[in-house]
Structure 1
């Protein structure tokens, strides 16, 4: 349900970091690790499932917008996630 803007104390501009500011050029990351890095967390930070789902809601569109700056590596196994890094 929408809330009145006046009910919120802190309204800031929406901004996204560039891939080079988030990812190390010598590493490949899962989408889950990218999601953590975008929030300033360590890639292996322990998160509950609900928090991880929210972070993915931010990470996936960021990756799509920045697709030209990213590369993809096939998963090592069918039950493993793919890995992403800087182009």
Structure 2
């Protein structure tokens, strides 16, 4: 059910990091690591499973929207996640 803006104590602009602001150009990251970075956390920060599911839900569209600015690295094995990094060319 929608809520009126007045029902919130505060509202904030919906702003996201650009890939250049978020990612080290020399590193590659998993979706889970990108999700943590988008929340202002370190890539290896411990988060509970429920929190990780929520922040990954934010990270996947961010990766898709910023795909032109990213590169993808093949996972080392079929059981490992893919890695994403900043396009530098």
Superposition TM-score, scaled by structure 2 size:
0.92
Q: Where does structure 1 lack aligned partners over 5 or more consecutive residues? A: none
Q: Which residue of 1 aligns with 2:14?
A: 14
Shift of 1:4: 3.0
Matched pairs, number? 87
Structure 1 segments of 4 or more deviating over 4 A? none
- RMSD (CA atoms): 0.9
Shift of 1:3: 2.8
Superposition TM-score, scaled by structure 1 size:
0.94
Q: Where does structure 2 lack aligned partners over 5 or more consecutive residues? A: none
Mapping of residues 1-87 of structure 1, within 5 Å? 1-87=1-87
